[in-house]
Structure 1
Amino acid sequence: MNIGQASKASGVSAKMIRYYDEIGLVQPSARTDSNYREYGERELNELRFIRRARSLGFSMAEITQLLSLWRDRERPSREVKAIAERHLAGLDARIAEMQAMAETLRHLSRCCAGDDRPDCPILADLTAGSLPSEPKTPSRRRPA
């Protein structure tokens, strides 16, 4: 099948298929006499593999490692599991960071009167440059 058909069958855009081919992520596909790429079941399986790995947030480097292990039928599964667990730890850390950011913003939003006065704890916090992991209690000054 041609690249358009492979794109439709795999769910990966033709542009990304060309990119993956260019960087060597996928194994080279066969070429026609006029130098067009031809895709078969092997290439489709690799593209689907990549699409799924990307949807789980794996980096290109991790996908390269996973593809290499997937192609190696004598691989130890512990290597695959180690990659997945490192990725999961990274996801957990990012989730914790985002939860801390959300909690800080929730707190600042509760402290802001949201009225016609210019005083705003959210802007005061942004000006102070505090980090989400270091929430501070903004003051609620009243105009005199």
Structure 2
Amino acid sequence: MKIGDLSNATGVDVGTIRFYERAGLLAAPARQPNGYRAYGQAHLEGLSFVRHCRALDIPLSDIKRLLDFAATPQQDCADINQLVDEQIERVRARLKSLKALEKQLTVLRGRCSQPHATQECGILSELVSAAHGEACVCHS
């Protein structure tokens, strides 16, 4: 199949497929006599694996490690467990950060509880103050 077919089958942009090839996450395809790349089932499966890992927000460097592990299945899986444990910790840290963001936005939203003229809007006032480096309740 051509790169466009692979893109359509996986929902991965053509430019991203080429990037994954250059990054070593996807095996280089054979070339047809006309120079076009010729992708096969292994490319489809590999790209689907990478796409799923990215959906789990696994960094590209870790995906490369997972692919290396998959290529040598006789290895001990302790390294894979560690990799996933590290990803869980990154997700937990992000959740904590998102909770703090939610709190800031909730406080900010509380600055304007009813419709009125824009120049009186507490939300805009706080955002302008924060942009100028002034104290803002949205950081408390």
Q: TM-score, normalised by structure 2?
A: 0.79
Give per-residue Cα distances to partners, 1:52-105, cap 9 Å, x unaligned: 111111111111111111222212222112111111111111111111121122
Shift of 1:129: 6.1
Question: Are the counterparts in 1 of residues 3 and 37 from structure 2 also a CA contact under 8 Å?
Answer: yes
Equivalent position SS for 1:128 = coil
- Between Structure 1 and Structure 2, which shows a larger proportion of helix residues? 2
Which one-letter code corresponds to 2:54 in the other structure? R
Q: CA 1:82–1:35 in 2, change beyond 3 Å: closer, same or farther?
A: same
Q: Which residue of 2 aligns with 1:123?
A: 126
Q: Following the alignment from structure 1 to structure 2, what is the Cα–Cα distance between the partners of residues 18 and 97? A: 33
Between the two proteins, the alignment pairs up a number of residues equal to 133
Q: Following the alignment from structure 1 to structure 2, what is the Cα–Cα distance between the partners of residues 65 and 52? A: 15
Q: Which residue of 1 aligns with 2:29?
A: 29
Question: Are the counterparts in 2 of residues 11 and 48 from structure 1 also a CA contact under 8 Å?
Answer: no
Which one-letter code corresponds to 2:13 in the other structure? S
Structure 2 unmatched runs, 5+: none
Question: Are the counterparts in 1 of residues 105 and 138 from structure 2 also a CA contact under 8 Å?
Answer: no
Which one-letter code corresponds to 1:35 in the other structure? G
Q: CA 1:31–1:130 in 2, change beyond 3 Å: closer, same or farther?
A: farther
Percent sequence identity is 26
Equivalent position SS for 2:58 = coil
Correspondence 1:1-144 to 2 at 5 A: 1-112=1-112, 115-116=116-117, 118=120, 120=122, 123=126, 126=130, 127-128=134-135, 132=139, 135=140
Equivalent position SS for 1:76 = coil
Q: Following the alignment from structure 1 to structure 2, what is the Cα–Cα distance between the partners of residues 61 and 19? A: 13
Question: Are the counterparts in 1 of residues 107 and 138 from structure 2 also a CA contact under 8 Å?
Answer: no
Structure 1 unmatched runs, 5+: 136-144
Question: Are the counterparts in 2 of residues 53 and 63 from structure 1 also a CA contact under 8 Å?
Answer: yes
Which one-letter code corresponds to 1:43 in the other structure? H
Which one-letter code corresponds to 1:65 in the other structure? R
Asked which structure has the greater CA Rg, the reply is: 1
